Every structure is written in structure tokens, then in C-alpha cells.
Chain A
């Protein structure tokens, strides 16, 4: 069963929600954070204008599965939460239908500026959808083996007096809903119309349910109110049954017939309409006409009074309204596709050209494609990996489709600003990256937090030759400047000369450190030993002899060498580092994505990288795309940049600087 269904805006206000079982707010907050803000889960590979919920991957959190869909131009998100154990096939359909209905009913309220209030009485619509989809899902199961027609026939009799329902939009039934597109394009309005055979007994029901809209106990739906207002001038007590038929008459011009299997009879012509009129039965007048008012009133009014007693009319009325909305949305979609070729020219083309210059043009995929291709090439030239560049372009595209250009704004410039903000978003860290404060809070915790002081452990990993030891000494120098006591642990027990190299660094730093007020020592155990054990010993030693920070150097390893990478998991378990930093060079190209991914996954479940150090930034000029590639691959922030040969050439990342370089 569904646990919760919420409709919320991107600004965070819940417009409407229905809870069947309590779900903590952190579940949906998690969805928003991971999917929408941090984009950990890429929505889908290709961007289309079809926003069906089925295309969005489900998001799992705790024991729940969340399905969602969104309406970008209105800033709406629809989320359905259910337990992961259940398999609810109709959720996608529910989300899509609810989206269409909600946007149709309250879309104009949502466009109002400076308010967060949306008056919605959505309960009934939602209940109706739930009921319908659940019913169809239930009946779909036995009917699976049977042909679609049979399934429809099963359901048709189950609804007595059955004209009020149009034969099924019944969306749960796969075979039927697949057929639906075949006949939906024909009329714009899907007002329920029966075949001649059925129409006679049933049309009272039609008129009754129509009249119910205007009835005194009227519900508060907007359409009903509108309908009421439209005919307010005729204010007799009797007019309510007669009123609605008139509006139906206009619809019937494009009448669709339904045959016995519930499929549309394509050749709808006036003859069938004539037939019902010729029959001359008063009961049929529900379909045409206020002109023959007296007869209509007599019949339909009686049926109205009779049926109201059952109290069922509200439901039927709602069904009809909902179906109308859904099918008109379908029809609009089909029309949009069809009319492109024929009517696309003319005035719309001219105004399109004008809008190109002046602004106010609604962007479509075609407008964006070419400019985005150029932007992608530009990013590739800046050494951004193709994968990351494509993702950035897609996120810009997703952002911009359906947006309007501003006054005198070209498509290129809007894409530029879009890309800038996408880059800024991907590079900006989620949480603060103040290393000094973190070290302080561990080495000298506040009295209230009941924690023992312990050394802060930083370990550095990376591929061979990217500058692990160099960057480690730079960090060490930075810490010494801040008067910490630092222990360097030489855990590269593999490459000959690695320990000696660190020894030289340590000697230099020791002298520099004494001037600055810090203290540094090297912890070494020679070659050939197990790195994880040495790291563990180093941490214990540091705790005993009162060091503030332990910096662990590790051996370089190729990221696709399974044997070497697997030892990292043990290393993380033994040394328990507070921060694992990966060094990547700015020179590396497309491979950076794979490097970052493999290293991020190497520490086993529950442990990941904490940050990147991008070395050799001074050698690439403005081609700093590696930054973006690595952050894209893992969502882990860049902590430091190595910008030169000296101990002091270490920088933090300035996001706007990087963005400017990438966009220049």
C-alpha cells in the first residue's frame, strides 16, 4: 500500500499531502537533497520533454521506495512513498495522472507571484484516482492472460447504468492503455458519448450527473463553479438540468463512439447523432439541446431527483471531470506532435523570429541542442572528461527547457549563465571544508562534548607519480605554520626510495617548523612490511607521545589493479583515518573519472574519500577540467590545489575562480 503522497513546491512548501502511514520527513528531505540538490543520482541518461514518472529512477531510503515526478515550469514535485517490500506497478500512472490533474486545476494559482498559498481541495480527485487505479490493477491480474477486449468487457458491466463512465482510460491494464494513443488524438474533448444501442436507457444518467454540477449541494471544484458562473444569467430554479446539456452540445460535434469492446469507433459521423435525435425520445435530449428545453427538463429533472437519493452522483461527476482533464492533456500532446509540420509556419514563425531578438521566447530542445553542443566542445577543450561534460550539459538543458529568455537575451548567453551556475553548483561543497577547525575539535574537544583528545589522522592515496608525498609535505608545512605537532608515517613500503624521500622532506620541514613553532617527526619501519599495520602503530604511537596530527603516506597504486586496491580496505579499517584525501593530477584527462570512482569505492562499504587534492594546477593554465571531472564522478569536494614546487604552494579552491577559468 502507498504510505504517503505529497505535492510540494521547489521552495519547500507542501501544497497537499495524504498520509496513510506515518513517514518521517527526513525521507523526502533525503530525496530532495540527493536527487535534486546534489544530483548524486543522475535522473536519466537522455533528456526528453516527457516527464513521466516511469523515467525517473526510484529513490530508496531506509525501508521506503520513493517515486517522483516534477513539473519544472511551476516548480512542483510529486512524490509517492511506499515500502520497498511492495511492488506497486500503478504508482507511475498515479503520479502522472495526479500531475496532469493538479496542474490543470491549480496551475494558474501557482503562477501568482509573492504567495505560497494554493487553495486546493484535491482530496476527492486523489481518492478517485487511487480507487480507479487500484481497481484496474486488481482486475488486471486475473485478466492478464485474456485479451484486452475481454478485460474491458469484464469491467464495463460492473458499472451499472454505464454511460457515465467512458469505456476505460483504465490505465492499469497494459494492453488497453497501449491502445489508447490510437484513438485519443481524434477529439479534443472526451465527453462521454454512448453508442446508439446503449444511449437510450443511459442518457438520463448523463443529464443527471451533469446537472449535479450545478446543483445546490454543489461541490467546490473550479470547473463546476466556472460552469455555474457562465450560466448565471438564467437564474430560474429549473435551469440547472438544462444548463449543462447546452455545453455538452458543443462537445458533441466531435463525437466519439465506443463500441462494445470499449474501443473507439473511428468513423464518428453526424449520422449517429442524428439517429439519437430522430429517435425523438425525450430521454436522449440530454445530449443535444437547450433548444428543446421543455421536454428535456421534464425527463432529466425526474431522473436527477431520483438519483440524488443514492448519493452516488458526486463520484460519477468527478470521474468524468478527471477523465476529461486527462484525455484533453493526452490530446494536447498528440496535437502538438501532429501540428508541427503543417501549422508550424506563418504567424508563429514570424513571432518566433521576433522573440529570438527581443526575448521572451520559450526554449525548446531544438533551440538548445546546437548551442549546447558548442558548450560541450568548449568544456572538452578545458580538459573536462566527456562524461562530466555531458552531464553538465544535460543538467543545463533540463534546467532550461521550457524556460523563457529574458529581454534581449540570446540563447547562447542564457546557456552560458546556466552553465556557470551548474559549474558553481557542482563545485561548491555541501559542508564546510575548514580543516583547521576540524583538527582542533578532535585534538582539543570542548569539555561538554565528553570526548577524549586524540590525534587527527589524515591519509593520502592516489595513483603513482601524482605527487602524494609532495602534497603531504605541503599539508604538513601548513599545519606546522599553525603550531601543530605532526607525525608523518611512511607507509609506502613498496617503492624503493620512498622512505628516504619522506626523510628528506621531514628534515626540511623540521627546520622550517622550528621557526614557525610546530614540531614534526617521521615514523618509519623500513620496506616490505604491511602498510596497514605500520599505519595502525603510527596512530598508537602518536596518541602516546601527544601528537596532534598524523599524516600517512601510502604507496601509489594503479586504480584498476584489483590486488593493490583491495589492500586499501584493510588500511582504512586499521588506521581509522579521519580524512582520506586522494591526490589527482590536473594533467590527467578522461581517466580522472575512473580514478576517482575506483578509489572512492576501494575503502569498503561505509567509508569513502573525503576530499581531493588536485596537484600540478600550475602546469595546465586554464584547463582545469579535472576538478570538475573528479567532483562529478564522486560528489566529493576538492580540498586543496597544488600550485607549485614550494611548500607554501597549496591553495584552497575558489569556486568562482575555477568557474571563470572554465568559461573563459
Chain B
């Protein structure tokens, strides 16, 4: 029997000798530290408010991101992976949460830092954006960037492909936000900025026209979606998947307006600007919007 006589290893181990105590303390301290380093080293503990940049390919999302981060846009190409960067509000704009402070409060001098998440706009890679919307971490707002010069229908393109793509993407995002709001009791606020980029170009539509064009086009999208075929997930698979199709806005009929989205906590703002301008970038309105929603 290992514990019967004092020389047995078990009685040694339970005996209050110095060695045993030291070993126990060492293990007790080392194990949590060790687990911490193995498991949690990579994950960061800080959660900053974040903004999501979405939009069709070629709208200038990555350029905007680099502009906000560095102050000047970098040359970019088609993105394949999402990118998260830290950016700070410029000194000239004050975040909404800092408004109450007096202008002499030293803490208001500090830059407000937030995360910007860029997503690829290519059709096959939009799941990145959708994932970010459905499982947000401190998501404070969504910037939907459109190329205003690509929306103008009569500009020479044979079809209004740019407008259609933008409208469909925006429709999907709004639908997703609506679904998200329906699921919860308390309607979460989610400001959405439609940033009409490339206003420096001659063919670019001004912001109010962009709004009108997108609303009209989303109306069409909604209409044709409601008439379209059921998708294969319904009826063929399990019966519990047979959920009703969802319409954007109330009832899904008539003309769509962004104001209808207020019901689900999505307040849509439209502002024009340009990332790469002839006379430097014009993104003041977008900064203001970000400051507003921070």
C-alpha cells in the first residue's frame, strides 16, 4: 500500500514538505498562465467601435479606408479579403459622444479611435460583408459606397448595370438589417451612410439624384424578387426551412423609400464626396457622419 508507510510516494506527496509546496505553487501559477498564452494570445481584448464599408466592386472602398487611415489615399486593386484598420477622427470633427464636454476639456483633445472594416465588393466575396452584419462587434454604422459616376444611366453604357448592381447589393444589405431587427425585441439603431463617391467626375450624379435613382431601382428589385421563383432551399429540404420570403419595407409594395427603413432602426443618410479628387479628397461630410454616429 502506497500510503500505509511513511516512505510511500502518496504519503510523501501529501506530506507538507517544502518540495511539495513549491511544486504545487509552481503548478498552480504556471497552468493558468500557460493556458492563457496558448489560447488567448492571439485574440485582442480591446473592442473599439467599428464601421463597416460595403459597396459594389470598384466603388473605392479600399481607397476610402486608406484615406481615413493615413490621410491620403493609396493606390488599390480589387480586394479579395476584408481588411480592418484603426482610424482616428480628425481634430476638426468632434464625436457625438464628446459633444457634452466643454471645449477646454483636455480629454476632448484626444482623438477618437475606431475600427474601419473594408469588405470585398466582388459578387463571390460578399459573404464577408454579410458575416460582419449578422455577427457584429460594436458595429456603429455602415458606409455603403457607390460610384456615382457609374450610376448615371444615359452616360453611354448600354445598360444601367452599375445602378442595378448597387441597388441589388443595397437591397440585400437592407433586407439583412431588417431581418436582424425583426429577430430582436429591442430595435437596434444602425445608421447607414450612402456615400456617393467620385463626385469629382463630370458624369457623377449629385447626392439627391443618387438617392432617387437607388430608391427607384430598389423598388424594381423588390418587385421582381417578390415575383421571382422560390429558391431550392424551400420545399425540397426540411419542412422547418420553409420560411416565408421576406419583403423589404412594409408590405413590400408600392414605391420604396429609404424613410421606410426607419421602422427597423436603420436611418439612411446620403452624402456626396470623392476619395480621389482633382483638388484633393472631399470627405468632410463623411467624417461628420462618422463623428455623429460615434
Q: Are B154 and A448 in contact (CB under 8 A)?
A: yes
* B234 contacts across to A, CB distance below 8 A: 651, 654
Q: Are A654 and B39 in contact (CB under 8 A)?
A: no
Chain B, range 199-248, C-beta contacts under 8 Å to A: 220-221, 224-225, 227-237, 241
The answer, yes or no, to whether A233 is at the interface (CB within 8 Å) is no
Q: How far is the CB of B35 from chain A (nearest CB, A)?
A: 9
Contact with B along A624-664 (1 / 0, CB 8 A): 00000000000000001101000000111110111010000
Tell me the complex Cα distance, A654–B220, Å. 21
A-B pair number, CB within 8 angstroms: 161
Within 8 Å by CB of B124, from A37, A115, A432, A617, lies A37
Within 8 Å by CB of A13, from B66, B125, B233, lies B66
Q: How far is the CB of B175 from chain A (nearest CB, A)?
A: 14
Tell me the complex Cα distance, A452–B144, Å. 33
Q: Are B230 and A113 in contact (CB under 8 A)?
A: no
Chain A, range 103-123, C-beta contacts under 8 Å to B: 113-117
Q: Are A14 and B232 in contact (CB under 8 A)?
A: no
* B235 contacts across to A, CB distance below 8 A: 643, 651
Tell me the complex Cα distance, A10–B165, Å. 23
Chain B, range 110-145, C-beta contacts under 8 Å to A: 115, 118, 120, 122-125, 127
The answer, yes or no, to whether A47 is at the interface (CB within 8 Å) is no
* B231 contacts across to A, CB distance below 8 A: 651-654, 657
Q: Are B232 and A651 in contact (CB under 8 A)?
A: yes
Task: Spot the interface stretch: A143-151, A203-211, A372-380, A422-430.
Answer: A422-430
* A17 contacts across to B, CB distance below 8 A: 75
The answer, yes or no, to whether A431 is at the interface (CB within 8 Å) is yes
The answer, yes or no, to whether B5 is at the interface (CB within 8 Å) is no
Tell me the complex Cα distance, A643–B230, Å. 11
* B47 contacts across to A, CB distance below 8 A: none
Q: Are A8 and B85 in contact (CB under 8 A)?
A: no
Q: Are A13 and B62 in contact (CB under 8 A)?
A: yes
Chain A, range 60-118, C-beta contacts under 8 Å to B: 75, 113-117
Nearest B residue to A651 via CB reads: B232
The answer, yes or no, to whether A395 is at the interface (CB within 8 Å) is no
- Most-contacted residue by chain B among A6, A9, A478 (CB, 10 A): A9
Chain B, range 28-45, C-beta contacts under 8 Å to A: 38-39, 44
Chain B, range 82-122, C-beta contacts under 8 Å to A: 82-86, 115, 118, 120, 122
* A38 contacts across to B, CB distance below 8 A: 124
Number of interface residues of A (CB under 8 A): 62
Q: How far is the CB of A66 from chain B (nearest CB, A)?
A: 12
Q: Are B122 and A651 in contact (CB under 8 A)?
A: no
Q: Are A449 and B79 in contact (CB under 8 A)?
A: no
Q: Are A651 and B236 in contact (CB under 8 A)?
A: yes
Nearest A residue to B126 via CB reads: A428
Q: Are B79 and A653 in contact (CB under 8 A)?
A: no
Within 8 Å by CB of B232, from A358, A425, A428, A654, lies A654
* B85 contacts across to A, CB distance below 8 A: 114-116
Q: Are B86 and A114 in contact (CB under 8 A)?
A: yes
Q: Are A115 and B232 in contact (CB under 8 A)?
A: no
Contact with B along A384-425 (1 / 0, CB 8 A): 000000000000000000000001000000000000000011
* A32 contacts across to B, CB distance below 8 A: 77-78, 80
Q: How far is the CB of A258 from chain B (nearest CB, A)?
A: 43
Q: What is the interface of chain B, defined by CB distance below 8 A to chain A?
A: 38-39, 44, 62, 65-66, 69-70, 74-86, 115, 118, 120, 122-125, 127, 153-154, 158-160, 164-165, 168, 220-221, 224-225, 227-237, 241
Q: What is the interface of chain A, defined by CB distance below 8 A to chain B?
A: 6, 8-14, 17, 25, 28-29, 32-33, 36-38, 75, 113-117, 358-360, 407, 424-425, 428-432, 434-437, 440-441, 446, 448-451, 478, 481-482, 617-618, 640-641, 643, 650-654, 656-658, 660
A28-B77, A117-B69, A431-B165 known, 5 other contacts, Cβ within 8 Å: A11-B118, A13-B83, A434-B224, A449-B159, A654-B232
What are 6 pairs between A and B in contact, CB < 8 Å? A28-B77, A38-B124, A115-B69, A437-B220, A657-B231, A660-B237
